[in-house]
Amino acid sequence: MAREFFGTDGIRGRVGEHPITTEFVLKLGWAAGRAFAGSDSGQILIGKDTRLSGYMLESALQAGITSAGIDVRLLGPMPTPAIAYLTRTFHGLAGVVISASHNPFHDNGIKFFSSQGQKLQDDIEETIEHYLGEPMVTVSPENTGKVSRITDAAGRYIEFCKSRFRASGGLEGLRIVVDCAHGATYQIAPNVFSELGADVVSLGVEPDGLNINKDVGSTSPEALRAVVREQRADLGIALDGDGDRVVMVDHNGEVVDGDELVYVIARHRHDRHRLDGGVVGTVMSNLGLEKALQKLDIPFHRSLVGDRYVMADLMARGWILGGESSGHILCLDQASTGDGIVSALQVLDAMRHFDSPLADLKNEMSKHPQRMINVSCDKRRVQESSVVAAVSRAEETLGNTGRVLLRPSGTEPVVRVMVEGEDEVLVNRLCEKLAEVVGD
């Protein structure tokens, strides 16, 4: 069954435009209630990031869910991985996240977690879409669901994150700049690292409903780089608006992306004989990651882009570590979904184990020059003959020293044009030329 509304990461769009409207989200809540409840009673947890539109969508969702006879527990502003964790902890039927992740404030979205704190299987999303096509029928008044708030959610999740760091001595002696992107981690992340002993400098912790991800966070690490240098910090940690992604900055102010972080974590696990298999990356992962893992005899597999596909390949192989260059990292022995705070703690654990700064650890992997340009156009453009021919010409120019990838985004109305190779000048020239053809 083709899914009409669910994309690679739930349902997402511009607020006020279908499907991110109060009318649709009300019906979505009811449909989800029907899909998750079956013949059982129970509760569904709802959390959100700091977007102003979250209030409106939260009210619509809880009205829809309770109209299907299911109780709702509200978490308030809370990172996406926290909602996954708390759904398991409270034995919820499901968890719902109101967030558009790294997108600007005018976008929002709805994504779901199963009772096990994992992204939904396709068949459950199809069931929700089935009910979206059915007439909305409210349960009898005596069976309407109730709404209550979980008041200690933040404290529970902070303790969970702290338990994911195993190195002795905590983070004593480290000065860390933590950039929360004015998003869902603003009350969480600084406390996690400071309670583990670090001297924390906070950035992006003043959300106003409109500034989420604006010039801060994992998608805009320049502010973090500047503060790390200014404060002479040991490193910086940049999370995105909903806290499931992380990139870091070393003491030199250089960005350490998801590929490099995955390598650091993999090397640490491999050194301690705790890797349990190989690593899953994506078709966008830097070729340098693959080669660095090969030197350690660590198997590497490329999945489609999107954490749900990385997760599927990890589960199929029985592996525990995977991730994307964007900073969405899965450590399945630590968390059931991508968790920016937990992933950062795994890197800090590696630094303690090797007694090395982040700059030294990431330099053991040599990245290939890679350029990506987002082109706003119809996603079907990649299939047109002129574009196909341009890709062939670029691949012929690179030969065996690089690769070309055109990928329609699953979360934005753009086509991502990526070129990778050994010669940075050539990579930039080919990428710009190809982006011009795609956008023409």
244 is in an annotated binding site: yes
pLDDT score for 3:
73
- Is residue 344, in this structure, part of any structural domain at all? no
- 7: pLDDT confidence band, cut at 50, 70 and 90? confident
pTM: 0.91
Residue type, 195: E
Residues 374 and 313 in one domain: no
Looking at 235, 255, 275, which one is the last position of a domain?
255
Whether 281 and 326 have beta carbons less than 8 Å apart is answered as no
Residues paired with residue 47 on neighbouring β-strands, in sequence order: 76, 97
- Is residue 351, in this structure, part of any structural domain at all? no
pLDDT score for 411:
65
101 is in an annotated binding site: yes
- 180: pLDDT confidence band, cut at 50, 70 and 90? very high
**Domain count of the chain?**
4
- Across the chain, mean pLDDT equals 95
- 440: pLDDT confidence band, cut at 50, 70 and 90? confident
| Residues 6+ positions from 261 with CB-CB distance below 8 Å | 246, 247, 248, 323, 327, 329, 343, 347, 362
Cα–Cα dist 72/147, whole Å: 5
Residues 223 and 299 in one domain: no
Residue 13's nearest CA partner among 31, 2, 28, 32 is: 28
Residue 258's nearest CA partner among 315, 322, 310, 312 is: 322
Residues 32 and 95 in one domain: yes
pLDDT score for 40:
62
Residues paired with residue 247 on neighbouring β-strands, in sequence order: 238
pLDDT tens digits for range 119-147: 898 899 999 999 999 999 999 999 999 99
Reduced to 3 states (helix: H, G, I; strand: E, B; else coil), residue 165 is coil
Neighbour tally for 242: CB within 10 Å: 35
Looking at 116, 150, 184, which one is the last position of a domain?
150
Residues 39 and 50 in one domain: yes
Residues 22 and 88 in one domain: yes
Cα–Cα dist 58/98, whole Å: 7
Query: For a pLDDT cut of 90, what percent of the chain falls above it?
Result: 88
User: Checking DSSP bridges between strand 43-48 and strand 71-77, what pairing results, if any?
Assistant: parallel
Give mean pLDDT, residues 170-198: 98
Residues 187 and 261 in one domain: no
Residues 69 and 55 in one domain: yes
240 is in an annotated binding site: yes
Residues 25 and 137 in one domain: yes
Distances (CA, A) of 374 to 47, 61, 379, 418, 440: 30, 33, 12, 9, 13
- 39: pLDDT confidence band, cut at 50, 70 and 90? low
R_g over Cα of the chain:
22
Cα–Cα dist 297/422, whole Å: 23
- 362: pLDDT confidence band, cut at 50, 70 and 90? very high
pLDDT score for 6:
92
Residue 92 is classified by DSSP as -
> For residue 383, with 0-12 CB atoms within 10 Å meaning exposed, 13-18 middle and 19 or more buried, which class applies?
exposed
Let me know the angle formed at the C-alpha of 291 by 285 and 295, rounded to the nearest 5 degrees. Answer: 140
- Is residue 385, in this structure, part of any structural domain at all? yes
Give mean pLDDT, residues 239-267: 98
- Is residue 239, in this structure, part of any structural domain at all? yes
Residue type, 176: I
Out of 95-109, 231-245, 369-383, least confident range? 369-383
Out of 32-46, 113-127, 241-255, least confident range? 32-46
The answer to whether residue 209 scores a pLDDT higher than 70 is: yes
Whether 215 and 252 have beta carbons less than 8 Å apart is answered as no
CATH number of the domain to which 407 belongs: 3.30.310.50
Residue with tokens 């053809």: 437
Residue 70's nearest CA partner among 127, 148, 14 is: 148
Looking at 118, 150, 182, which one is the last position of a domain?
150
The answer to whether residue 316 scores a pLDDT higher than 90 is: yes
- Is residue 61, in this structure, part of any structural domain at all? yes
Residues 33 and 116 in one domain: yes
Distances (CA, A) of 113 to 121, 307, 381, 399, 430: 9, 13, 33, 43, 40
Whether 334 and 73 have beta carbons less than 8 Å apart is answered as no
Residue with tokens 């969702």: 61
- Is residue 356, in this structure, part of any structural domain at all? no
Cα–Cα dist 373/418, whole Å: 7
Output the 3-class SS for 63-89. HHHHHCCCEEEEEEECCHHHHHHHHHH
- Is residue 4, in this structure, part of any structural domain at all? no
CATH number of the domain to which 224 belongs: 3.40.120.10
Residue type, 169: G
Cα–Cα dist 298/270, whole Å: 8
pLDDT score for 2:
57
- Is residue 167, in this structure, part of any structural domain at all? no
Cα–Cα dist 298/265, whole Å: 12
- Give the catalytic positions in this structure: 101
Residues paired with residue 303 on neighbouring β-strands, in sequence order: 282
Alpha helices per DSSP H over 296-413: 307-317, 340-354, 358-362, 385-398
- 314: pLDDT confidence band, cut at 50, 70 and 90? very high
Residues 334 and 386 in one domain: no
Q: Token digits for 366?
A: 């040599």
Residues 28 and 135 in one domain: yes
pLDDT score for 249:
98
**For residue 316, what are the domain limits?**
257-339+362-367
pLDDT score for 30:
98
Residues 83 and 22 in one domain: yes
Give mean pLDDT, residues 33-53: 89
